[in-house]
């Protein structure tokens, strides 16, 4: 019976390659022997890895969708009375003109990528910053230097596969005898076994440690963006090359500014008298305080734009703008003298009993409503 690789990864049969990759990474982090001490974690990790190997390969995935199992494919067939010796890799090579090398797989393998979150303020994302980071990752074991063996010892050739890393079994079918090739369970396909593992890393060739590094965040980054530090991720098993470290930027909410792309927005309250008479106001920007002119007769909702006072563009020269939204504030408490003066002003402006201000009759949907059209 073919293995349900979709079920192993916990994805739908119509899952995209990105969904398959995310599911694999999530399960790999949970089941990796370095972080999961459960007895069956290593076996489940191997199953998850095999499922990802199959479903991430379009040709192998097509065989799964047709009801087959590419890791157990017997081959094309042979003469009567002779076993079939062509596995899936050979079949793939015969069709596409390539052959996959057989033999033991190396213990040294590339490491996985790592991801950390970095919280920054708008000032830091706008102008860039050098941030000191502390991360927990796997590094090459300094005792065995990635070999995984105790000092003075070497891996021994596997007695089961004689160093080939794979074993063959013959099965009978209606087509005849078929020879199936599988990784050796005794040495996990390496061809050798470590009889005396390193006491520091337990034979993995790497250990986990906390280390510090400095990340340079460029000016203009935004919330959700990722910065890649090549070779700063997890060192691979057997001292293999390290993966990459991704820094995901999370921008904290600012007390004054809100961000829209590279533009900034803020709200400033203007007293009613200042809006009517006009004034100069001091406002805060990312570059410091600046003076803004409030013209006489300014209405609530007026927007004043300060060019090039926003966030620098990430991939080009220049900056966004700062949009200042003016809110005219009407006083809610007046003393006797202030009330007298306000009533006198209303009388002078003939506004003691004002009528609703209607839209201009120049056109527009609402003007037609007010004019009965």
- Give the pLDDT confidence of 238-250 residue by residue, as tens digits: 989 999 999 999 9
Residue 44 inside a domain? The answer is no
The residue from 222, 238, 253 where one domain ends is 253
The residue from 253, 281, 302 where one domain ends is 253
Residues 131 and 222 in one domain: yes
For residue 297, pLDDT beyond 80: yes
If you average pLDDT over residues 329-353, what whole number do you get? Answer: 89
Which has more confidence, 130 or 89?
130
Please state which of the ranges 116-120, 143-147, 166-170, 344-348 shows the lowest mean pLDDT: 166-170
Residue 201 among known ligand-binding residues: yes
Residues 202 and 328 in one domain: no
Q: At 98, is the pLDDT very low, low, confident or very high (cuts 50, 70, 90)?
A: very low
Are 218 and 128 in contact by the 8 Å Cβ rule? The answer is yes
If you average pLDDT over residues 1-18, what whole number do you get? Answer: 82
For residue 153, pLDDT beyond 80: yes
Residue 266 inside a domain? The answer is yes
Residues 267 and 369 in one domain: no
The residue from 220, 253, 286 where one domain ends is 253
Residue 266 among known ligand-binding residues: no
For residue 87, pLDDT beyond 50: no
Q: How many domains does the chain have?
A: 3
Residues 145 and 117 in one domain: yes
Residue 56 inside a domain? The answer is no
Cβ neighbourhood burial of 242 (10 Å; 0-12, 13-18, 19+)? buried
Residue 371 inside a domain? The answer is yes
Residues 245 and 135 in one domain: yes
Residues 135 and 248 in one domain: yes
Neighbours of 277 (CB within 10 A): 13
Distances (CA, A) of 152 to 143, 144, 149, 220: 11, 9, 8, 53
Residues 275 and 221 in one domain: no
Residues 108 and 243 in one domain: yes
Q: At 197, is the pLDDT very low, low, confident or very high (cuts 50, 70, 90)?
A: very high
**Range(s) of the domain holding residue 248:** 104-155+194-253
Residues 300 and 245 in one domain: no
Residues 137 and 211 in one domain: yes
If you average pLDDT over residues 261-290, what whole number do you get? Answer: 95
Residue 13 inside a domain? The answer is no
For residue 118, pLDDT beyond 60: yes
* Residues pairing with 215 in the sheet: 131
* Residues pairing with 267 in the sheet: 325
Residue 29 inside a domain? The answer is no
Residues 217 and 292 in one domain: no
Residues 328 and 368 in one domain: no
For residue 77, pLDDT beyond 60: no
Residue 59 inside a domain? The answer is no
User: What is the domain-level CATH number for residue 292?
Assistant: 2.60.260.20
Are 122 and 251 in contact by the 8 Å Cβ rule? The answer is yes
pTM of model > 0.75: no
For residue 358, pLDDT beyond 80: no
Residue 163 inside a domain? The answer is no
């Amino acid at each position: 019976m073919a293995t349900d690789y979709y079920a192993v990864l916990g994805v739908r049969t119509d899952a995209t390659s990105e969904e398959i990759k995310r599911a694999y990474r999530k399960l790999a982090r949970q089941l990796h022997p370095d972080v999961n001490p459960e007895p069956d974690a290593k076996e489940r990790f191997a199953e998850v890895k095999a499922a990802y190997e199959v479903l991430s390969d379009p040709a192998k995935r097509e065989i799964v969708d047709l009801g087959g199992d590419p890791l157990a494919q017997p081959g094309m067939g042979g003469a009567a009375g002779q076993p079939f010796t062509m596995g899936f890799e050979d079949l793939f090579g015969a069709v596409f003109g390539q052959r996959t090398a057989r033999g033991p797989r190396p213990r040294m393998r590339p490491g996985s990528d790592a991801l950390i979150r970095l919280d920054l303020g708008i000032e830091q994302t706008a102008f860039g910053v050098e941030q000191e980071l502390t991360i927990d990752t796997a590094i090459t074991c300094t005792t065995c230097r990635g070999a995984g063996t105790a000092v003075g010892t070497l891996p021994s050739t596997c007695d089961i596969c004689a160093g080939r890393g794979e074993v063959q079994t013959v099965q009978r079918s209606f087509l005849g005898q078929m020879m199936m090739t599988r990784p050796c369970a005794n040495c996990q396909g390496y061809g050798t076994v470590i009889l005396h593992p390193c006491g520091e890393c337990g034979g993995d060739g790497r250990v986990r440690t906390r280390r510090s590094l400095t990340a340079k965040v460029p000016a203009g980054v935004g919330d959700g963006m990722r910065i890649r530090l090549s070779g700063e991720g997890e060192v691979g098993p057997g001292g293999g090359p390290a993966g990459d470290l991704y820094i995901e930027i999370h921008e904290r909410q600012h007390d004054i500014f809100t961000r829209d792309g590279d533009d900034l927005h803020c709200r400033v309250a203007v007293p009613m008298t200042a809006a009517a008479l006009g004034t100069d106001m001091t406002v805060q920007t990312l570059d410091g305080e600046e003076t803004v002119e409030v013209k006489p007769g300014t209405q609530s909702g007026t927007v004043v734009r300060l060019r090039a006072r926003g966030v620098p563009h990430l991939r080009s020269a220049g900056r966004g703008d700062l949009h200042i939204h003016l809110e005219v504030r009407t006083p809610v408490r007046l003393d006797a003298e202030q009330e007298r003066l306000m009533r006198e002003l209303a009388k002078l402006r003939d506004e003691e009993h004002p009528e609703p201000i209607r839209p201009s009759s120049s056109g527009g949907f609402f003007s037609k409503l007010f004019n009965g059209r």
